[in-house]
Structure 1
Amino acid sequence: MNIYTIPFCPFCFRVKLTTQIKNISPSEVSFHEIELKNPPEKFHKLNPNKTVPTVEISSEQGLAESLVIMEYLDETFASKYPIFGENSTEKALNKYLIERVNNEVTGYLMACFFSCQSKVKFTKALDKLHLAYENLEKLLPKNLVFFGGNQLNAVDISFAPFYCYFFIAQKIRNEIFLPKKDTKSFKYFNALINDPHIKKLILDNELFNKHIEECVSAKEEIQKIKNSSRALISDLHTAVEQLNHKLKTTYHKNITWYLESNTSGPYIITHFKFSNYHQALNAIEYLCDLQETSDHHTNFRLDNFSELAVEICTHQPKWGVTEMDLAFAEVLSTHISN
């Protein structure tokens, strides 16, 4: 039996964990990692939607969706440990628990993970994180290590890969907090990360850890703003001309920044124009998020939801325009179009 996967995919990890927990040998199930952008020709026939994981049922037919494949493997290798349960009642209850854990726990954890590069969204996700722990506390069985008792079952297997994402992110971003140590949730999380199957397949993989670090670290463009010089630029006319030239030739943006002055000193300004209300709101949302994430702020004014004026300069310790201001203007201009 052939199963097609990609590296670091939590849904693929579900299926790989299933084969390990059920002790299905490589001679019985063979995994093939592919590139979704350039998959094998055979894969197109098996799954025209090009999603992973995909199991090959026949030369012309494949089966997708991780939970469906988990159940397919459980029934195909029924003589091995039944991860969904031994009878219809256990199977139904475990499927019900998988759905509840996905909706009431996993979503909150992954909201923190996927918002790490946006301060506004990350703050909102952190505010709701306690709900995941409260919900999990209610769902976990009493006096048992896992949902499956002393070993992982389908509920644990479906949740574990996503928790691994969250666990590595939590080690990198110390703003992410864990449940209290005396809770069932904390003990459950600790049992997951110490399970030998999960450690070997996911957590001990250096490439996986590096992948997660890249996902939760600041974007390159944010680093560019933060790492730019705060020293005032003396030849502002040339600097602004170079910025505008770069926007037109490198990014193909029809945006021009102008150098102006007030009683305090120089600043740069541009106007973004919008054809509808939604474009204006999206631009404001992005601008505010960029300000908070880069810790660099501007003055802006929205007129009639059709034109956004943005002024950028440095106020402290002296008024003027810096390389950081120009970097902010460049990044902003690449994301908001006239």
Structure 2
Amino acid sequence: MAGDGVKLLGMWASPFVLRIKLALKLKGIEYEYIEEDLVNKSERLLKYNPIHKKVPVLLHGDKPLIESLIILEYIDETWKENYPLLPEDPYERAMARFWAKYTDEKLWLSIVGAFSKTGEEQMKTLNEAQESLKPLEELLKGKRFFGGETICYLDIVIGWIAVLVPLFEELMGVTYVDPNTMPLLHAWSQEFTNVPLVKERLPPREKMVVFLTAFREGLISSSIKFP
């Protein structure tokens, strides 16, 4: 399907950019991907996202859109004819938005917060992250994915947990998602990353390990933010 001049400004390691790549693929939208260097930001990025100066940025013709959750809804509403991402029922749509906001605010802060600390501070924040993950375990009861039998908006939004958390655990030597206490979330994480459409678009593992190691060192020593 033609994407009517769709372009995506992104950065290879960003889980927020991955969301948009997955949504566009599920919708069958052709697009041009443009890799951005977030250390030396291009004039193009500064032009289209002058407020936050971050990726992702979706360009649809001459219209720029920023913030991954907003972009996902725009994609879903603009190309309605193929693979709906959000539920049709108004209540279910509202709840999907609630859990997306919960994931991007509370979960992101607690999970990355633990990754950015050491010693007692790390363990305290890790415990907070584990508690914050428990509602997702409940949300998965009776389901294969958050969308039921197929991945949907919420799987795409929460997917960064499946991608990043196992690497965080490996680098930190801790456990966020215990298969004994959160078996559904653990199983979902493995199944999500093995969906062919997702697996084909994951950044190389070895490259991510190098990137996240440096990222963690930067977080611990400064106040850098994840792209």
TM range (shorter): 0.7 to 0.9
The answer on whether the counterparts of 1:202 and 1:208 sit within 8 Å (CA) in structure 2 is no
Indicate whether 1:128 and 2:131 are aligned.
no
Deviation of the 1:58 alpha carbon: 4.1
For 2:87 and 2:201, locate their aligned partners in 1 and report how far apart those are by CA, in whole Å: 23
The answer on whether the counterparts of 1:169 and 1:213 sit within 8 Å (CA) in structure 2 is no
One-letter code of the match for 2:140? P
Equivalence for 2:202: 202
One-letter code of the match for 2:143? L
Choose between structure 1 and 2 for higher RCO, CA contacts under 8 A separated by at least 6 residues.
Answer: 2
Uncovered stretches (5+) of structure 1, i.e. residues with no partner: 223-285, 287-338
One-letter code of the match for 2:99? L
CA deviations 1:269-315 (Å, max 9, x no partner) are xxxxxxxxxxxxxxxxx9xxxxxxxxxxxxxxxxxxxxxxxxxxxxx
Indicate whether 1:19 and 2:24 are aligned.
yes
2:82 to 80, 85, 89: 80
Matched-pair identity in % = 23
Deviation of the 1:146 alpha carbon: 1.0
The answer on whether the counterparts of 2:140 and 2:185 sit within 8 Å (CA) in structure 1 is no
For 1:181 and 1:194, locate their aligned partners in 2 and report how far apart those are by CA, in whole Å: 21
> Structure 1's 38 and 103: CA in aligned 2 closer, same or farther, altered over 3 A?
closer
The answer on whether the counterparts of 2:45 and 2:54 sit within 8 Å (CA) in structure 1 is no
Say what the alpha-carbon RMSD is for the aligned residues. 2.7
4+ residue runs over 6 A deviation:
none
Equivalence for 1:92: 94
Deviation of the 1:46 alpha carbon: 2.0
TM-score, normalised to structure 2, is 0.80
> Structure 1's 33 and 126: CA in aligned 2 closer, same or farther, altered over 3 A?
same
- Higher strand fraction (1 or 2): 1
- Higher helix fraction (1 or 2): 2
For 1:40 and 1:87, locate their aligned partners in 2 and report how far apart those are by CA, in whole Å: 41
Uncovered stretches (5+) of structure 2, i.e. residues with no partner: 1-5, 223-227
> Structure 1's 45 and 215: CA in aligned 2 closer, same or farther, altered over 3 A?
closer
Equivalence for 1:51: 54
For 1:56 and 1:69, locate their aligned partners in 2 and report how far apart those are by CA, in whole Å: 10
> Structure 1's 113 and 200: CA in aligned 2 closer, same or farther, altered over 3 A?
farther
> Structure 1's 195 and 171: CA in aligned 2 closer, same or farther, altered over 3 A?
farther
The count of residues paired between Structure 1 and Structure 2 equals: 214
One-letter code of the match for 1:64? I
TM-score, normalised to structure 1, is 0.56
For 1:79 and 1:66, locate their aligned partners in 2 and report how far apart those are by CA, in whole Å: 21
Higher Cα radius of gyration: 1
Deviation of the 1:66 alpha carbon: 0.5
For 2:172 and 2:46, locate their aligned partners in 1 and report how far apart those are by CA, in whole Å: 39
Indicate whether 1:179 and 2:182 are aligned.
no
The answer on whether the counterparts of 1:5 and 1:52 sit within 8 Å (CA) in structure 2 is yes
One-letter code of the match for 1:198? V
For 1:104 and 1:37, locate their aligned partners in 2 and report how far apart those are by CA, in whole Å: 27
For 1:104 and 1:64, locate their aligned partners in 2 and report how far apart those are by CA, in whole Å: 21
For 2:204 and 2:45, locate their aligned partners in 1 and report how far apart those are by CA, in whole Å: 29
> Structure 1's 200 and 214: CA in aligned 2 closer, same or farther, altered over 3 A?
farther
